[in-house]
Amino acid sequence: MNIDEAKSYIKEQPISHIISYYMPLNKRGHNYEGICPFHQDTKPSLKVNDQKNLFKCFACGAAGDHISFVEKFKNYDFIAAIEDIASHVGINIEKQNKKQDPQTEMALRVLQAANRVYRKMAIEHKAVEFEDFIKTRKLSEPTIKKFSIGYAPHNSLFSKYLENITSAEKEFAIEIALKIG
């Protein structure tokens, strides 16, 4: 996955999921809150909103998204922040000078896209089958997030996704998807 794809993947994740790798958060209603790491905070003034994918400290004014949080928290530049988040969420960022077999590269891209589609399906649609699977397996929310568990309904959702690719790589992506199953 290149930097742009990693950035897109990170921004699709709930911000509370990313920030919780760096500091503890507590659920409060629809939001999360925690002790702000950007000033001498004594009570939870940092609020995290997954619907808007933003954080804000109502004491010091620090605010931003997933990546800017890590930039501020770790004092990293943009690329280093993405690489750090990627290491936590289990994605590999390929280096620019690394040459890889085109079929292998496309297979990785197809699998990562499938993961994003099915993870989004699990988060947004709350299907009964998925909820039953979680209960049967006794999976916690952190486990679901850590392993990026998603929901693949029987309606060929990913096939439709591949068919809607508009780039010149569409045929190759479909060929590789069929090859890897």
The 10s digit of each residue's pLDDT in 14-63 is 999 999 999 999 999 989 999 999 999 889 999 999 999 999 999 999 99
Flag whether 95 is in a domain: no
Question: In this structure, is the dihedral angle defined by the CA atoms of residues 12, 16, 19 and 20, taken in order, positive or negative?
Answer: negative
Q: What is the mean pLDDT of residues 90-109?
A: 74
Statement to judge: residues 138 and 82 lie in one domain = no
Q: Could you tell me which residues come within 8 angstroms of residue 10 by beta carbon, excluding any fewer than 6 positions away?
A: 18, 66, 67, 82, 85, 86, 89
Which residues are paired to 117 by β-bridges?
none
94 located within any domain: no
Q: Is the pTM of this model over 0.75?
A: no
Would you state the pLDDT for residue 55? 95
Final residue belonging to a domain, choices 29, 55, 89: 89
Measured at the alpha carbon of residue 86, what is the angle toward residues 70 and 66, in degrees to the nearest 5? Answer: 35
Helices then strands, each counted (H, E), the chain: 9, 5
Same domain, 77 and 126: no
The verdict on 41 and 107 lying in the same domain is no
The domain that contains 70 carries what CATH number?
3.90.580.10
123 shares a domain with 77: no
Q: Is residue 127 part of a domain?
A: yes
CA angle 81, 169, 85 (to 5 degrees): 10
The number of distinct structural domains making up the chain is 2
* Digit-coded pLDDT (tens) for 104-144: 887 887 788 788 778 877 777 777 888 888 889 998 888 88
H or E element, residue 176:
helix 170-180
Q: Are residues 7 and 82 in the same domain?
A: yes
Q: Which residues constitute the domain of residue 116?
A: 102-180
